[in-house]
Amino acid sequence: MQRYKGIIAYDGSGFSGYQVQPKGRTVQAELEAVLEKIHKGTPVKVVGSGRTDAGVHARGQVIHFDSPLAIPAERWPVALNSLLPEDISVLSVEKVDHSFHARFNAAGKEYRYQLLLSGVRDPFLRNYAYRFPFRLNLGAMREASGYLLGTHDFTSFCAAKTEVVDKVRTIKEIEFLQDGDLLTIRFVGNGFLYNMVRILVGTLLEVGTGDRAPEEMLGILEAKDRRVAGKTAPAHGLYLWEVFY
């Protein structure tokens, strides 16, 4: 039995999220269905680095699966992509030691959130960028992001319904990348809580519009209360960009 590590990309628009659910189309279910077909009806479990919500995209989701088949690693993407739907792509597959675990071995992740800063909607970006037609003070947003760097308890920036107890995380980088009307906010950290990036974006946008002062980030962190942070930005602007090991 050989363990394989795969990097996959998907358009989250047509999915109810990554993880298998009783109802709704999911990325994991599509992958497992194709692997079962390749393995002549034998179920194959796919483990991801983490779950993504409905509408969230991925450019670098990492998975692992085990297989007894003598298929060269470089041929797995060809075999999988020939059967997968067009909104999922297997970018690469490599052999790994059986101790490798896509989720538990992950040392960090990069997420990106894409905003369309335009008063006119773009039908081609409606599922891939959150249109925010209000003037933003990027200087204030950069200042606010500085308070978020480092190791903190991010309870205020986590969805209340999470079951995770330890909400201490380390954010290593927050970067603002602008190309015309497209603004991408890049987050790199050792891990992220449920809805954390989307709540961070929603709060930073309130700073950008002047509804909050940059230094309010300190009080929000100290409060450890989801109610004091900003709104949760929509899912369709979020991308799981890369997972680090």
Residues carrying an active site annotation? 53
Q: Quote the longest CA-to-CA distance of the chain.
A: 59
Q: HSE, CB side, 13 Å, CA atoms: give it for residue 199.
A: 22
Query: In angstroms, what is the C-alpha Rg of the chain?
Result: 19
Contact 58/243 with Cβ under 8 angstroms?
no
Q: Tell me phi and psi for residue 208, to 5 degrees.
A: -60, -30
Among 103, 105, 112, 110, smallest CA distance to 56 is for 112
> Do 58 and 13 meet the contact criterion of CB atoms below 8 Å apart?
no
Burial class (CB in 10 A: 0-12, 13-18, 19+), 141: buried
Of the candidates 209, 208, 200, 189, the one whose C-alpha atom is nearest the C-alpha of residue 233 is 200
